[in-house]
Structure 1
Amino acid sequence: MNFKETAKKIVELVGGEENIISLTYCVTRLRFELKDRNKADVAALENLEGIMGIVNSNMMFQIIIGTDVVHVYDEIKTIIYLDEEKTVSKASKNPLKVVFDIMVDAINPIVPLFLIAGVLAALISIFNVIGILPEKSSTYLILSAVQQSVFFFLPIFVANSTALKLNVNPYIAMALAAVLVSTSINGVEGLDLFGIKLTPVTYSNSILPIFMAVWFMSFLDKKLDRIITEKLRFLFKPLISILITLTLVLFVFGPMGTWLGNAIASLFSIVGDNVGNWLVIAILAAIYPLLIITGAGGFLIPVILTAIAELGYDPIIVPGALAADITVGAVTLAIALRAHKPEVKQLATATGISALLGVTEPANYGVLMKFKRPYIATAIGGACGGLFAGLFGLKGYTIVTAIVGITGYIGPGESGMYNFYIAVGTVVISFVTGFVASWFLSLTPETNPKLTDTKDNYRIKAPVKGDVIPLNEVSDRVFASQAIGKGVAIKPKDNSIVAPFDATVTTLFPTNHAIGLTTSDGVELLIHIGIDTVNLNGEFFKPEIQAGDKVAAGQKLMTFDYESIAAAGYDNVVIYVITNTAEYKDVVATTKESVNLNDEILSIELKEAI
């Protein structure tokens, strides 16, 4: 669906901006208050791409869109003026989750680039080791340029995809990124702006500064639209936007990674002096992948080079990085073996091998960051491998953190082979612990017993005691048509709603009549209490949770007065819908006439895992 075009058509077909009194949105629908409903072209709206249905009730004119409703709503806000006192969102989301999800969505379109870089890096390393592709050959240099350029210009690619996601001009965003990776700024020392000294920052190979910049730009553009008159907007808005954002990046977003790196270095120094370097190496190996993402890893290279120059070896960072990189490869390969989707299996295989050969960015950005949970496994494997390296005193004589360069750990003198054996041990322990941790923390539903009691199905329990009603018999025709997703309804006989499984509360509506839950495996469940109960404005509902909370199976989510809801003239039926039904083979409701708490009520038949 093209959200912008859909929004334009909706505004036009409901009678134009002048016919709109107010607009809100719920979990699946836009709710218009119109001056004259006869001006709305219902037939044309129903035939519009992305529209699931129209509900023209006594209270509101509702357009059913599904879970993309928020995107259409945001586009409508850019087309017409909406009184914020009358027009409010009916959803509340965890801000951190929103930010991370947008970052992941921005990275997804450029995953093929990571695949190119990962496969190419692996082939270059292999061919170099067996002598087919010498480092000084032109072919080696050209192929290396292809592989390295993907990451050097990564900020430009991320700027484009993030801008498209946040409705920012992608060319302005890419221009900003190009400025940051230019030879005049990227990693240059001694710069100042307005007479204020700038912290030198390497922007190439980094995504966080440019992501934050484009995110800020999305808000700034809206402010500038209100401040700059329409006649001057075309001429001055792009320039003002890029200059303000560039200033903020140079002074804040860019140096944040350096500040974090310096803080970590200070912490490591304290831990090393008071406990021992073995603990520092274990911690570093556990958090190393996250340091790379945040850009805080910039402090590492100078420290390594200084140590090698003064001692002849690095006793901390190179050993920790070896454990971390091998773990990233192991975790990603475990995902490849556990995955069912061919595209995930292929991506994880290629990037996992690349990580073992020393190039971890494809795995980090293309796989681990997308699924989030594997970072727990990288922390476990990295910490175990780093602990072994630290306890046995592994030394890094060169900046080598990959299997193909393992011979670089052979030290001088008679004890040189001892260091090599410790390096091999670090590789083995990091790989095994990382692989095992990833295997058992895999994103496949089979590994979560709280969701399923068979390999092929999820068994989901009832959230409330009551009589079962087939979804197609509820009085709301949108839910009845299963346009929002398949599920079931329950005529409640109890005032409590409980969580059917371990999950995150992704949505709690301000009127408290609906709750959205998402499991770690991606099952999205909507618990909608009553029909049109949004108009009760929260009366008779008492939530026990907030958006962003982690809840356990059986935990109380909501207390509601189902008798008072009915007495107020509303249908109090509890609607229970899997909103991402399309991702599964089928969703099957129970055939029981009534259920108690913890009775099985829905079964989700799986197409595939990840």
Structure 2
Amino acid sequence: MKYEKLCKQIIDLVGGKENIDAVVHCMTRLRFTLKDQELANSNKEAIKDIPEVIDVVSNKVSFQIIIGTEVSQIHPELLTLLGMKETEEVKVKKNVFKAILDLLSESISPILPAMMAVGLMAGVLAIFVATGLLKDTSPTYIIFNSIKDGLFYFLPIFMAVSASKRLGAPLYLGILLAGTLLTTSINGVENLSLFGLSLPTITYSNTFIPILLGLWFMGKVNQVVSKFMPKSLDYFFSPVILIGITLPVTLFLFGPIGTWISDGLTIGVEFLTGTFGSWIVVALYAACQPFLIMLGAGNFVIPLVLSAFTSQGYEEIFVVAWTISDLAVSGAMLGYFLRAKDQKQKQLFGSVAFSAFMGITEPAIYGAFLKYRRPFFAVMIGGGLGGLFAGLMHVKAYAMTNLFGIVSFIGNNDQNNFYFMIIALVIGFIVSLVAGYLLWLPKTEVQSEKVIAEVESKSTLNKVTIAAPISGEIKPLEEIKDDAFSSGALGKGLGILPKEKVVKSPIKGKVASLFPTNHAIGIVSEDGVEVLLHIGIDTVDLKGEHFRALVEQGAEVALGDPLIEVDFDQVIAAGYDPTVIMIVTNTQDYLEVLPNLTNDQPEGNELITVIM
């Protein structure tokens, strides 16, 4: 097993096999349903430290470990170690709205390749017609164009295949229900009645909501029937009972409800475009999509998109916007790649830029955007301008696609629509690239090396260097989850996510203060530099538990002398952030205090330079 070590690490850190109810995956992340999520939350930082892990997102619904596109290879091995099957369902109480969005997203995902194939085929046919290689009345054109009709007309059957298991309905009975609704005896038939009662005229093709409601109801009926039906009779009678109950209820109840919801979604789209103008909505969504992905709310537009496709044959807001936004993310990261000098940074920015270009933006958002923040503004500028142009030109998407389905924007031989989309993509990409290049990293990171180099070249200036008190991952002060430190109000400095247990003296000097809880210690150097080491965030609440002082207040210490021993595993287990914060409390007394944020393993290195 190629990923056995990684899988075992993850299992241990989320609380062990016994804490895992289920685990599924999307394109970039593992989604865990846990009995006690706090066990995993306490190890979030340890999970993030795993080289293959990009980030961790925890919410009330699931615990998510973001890995990247290799997750599809990791997931089967993880299930093998857990002794679980691929089809195991997640049993968890969810927010109803969130559960509906998750269902739609998970049901649409398997159909996306077919939708992209339809879009690409439509684009290729449009090119052939435009170049005179085919006529739109030729049998060849008609046959290949039928692929689109095949997908959208039989959309209920596609949804039945992808959603039946998730809703607890037997697969082939779900398909049977969808196929029955599409027969010429029911689909769009007027004056239809059942049991002497009139049925509303409903067109079930090109829609997906009635079948989803029907499958949900079938799943509930299946649960009840399975409890009372003897095993010896189950094979023969359960299918008849399920379809015999579900079909009438779907015709009388879910058909009309689904139609109302579909109409409501259509009205919602028309309201957005008619009230605010489609150009505003496209621009805003293209600018803000990375924020929505970060918040886990990127799927809320799926019902609107599907409703638009099924009702009018195209969609002119969200598919256009997310395609532009994905390329804008790639452009922003390419701008960072061109600006970076550090090879490790170049590798990061280059890889996530390529991933975003391929339509997968999570690695960039969680691996770079959250850390540096300024790329968000680059995408807001570039994506917003690209979306604005597309909205003003009323660009339409004729298929649910991404950059690689760009030819689908030709649609019904609408070449101008295609050209406008290309221009919008170029605007989004180029402007984001330039914005990313110009915005670059926060000044503290960029200026540190420059000022230090200037100091070293001028003998008239003196400097004091402060070493690392502990090995670990460096964090800019702005990222510390404590306003008193992150604001710089207490002085300049940085944070270190520790990888060992002993905090050592970063300078030669005297222990000026040692808090009774041993979670913080102050040292004054021979030059008068006051250094505060604060171990963890809010760890004062632990009242000294897991902290052991190795020196006394007033003691003289040399560089590297042990100061405090900390059981960081227990600190994390207690739910506290273990970050060791080091600041110069009398920053205002010096010309400059410059954190060195380029070292990933800072032990023994010059971590802060104080310009006297």
TM-score by length of 2: 0.42
Higher radius of gyration, 1 or 2: 2
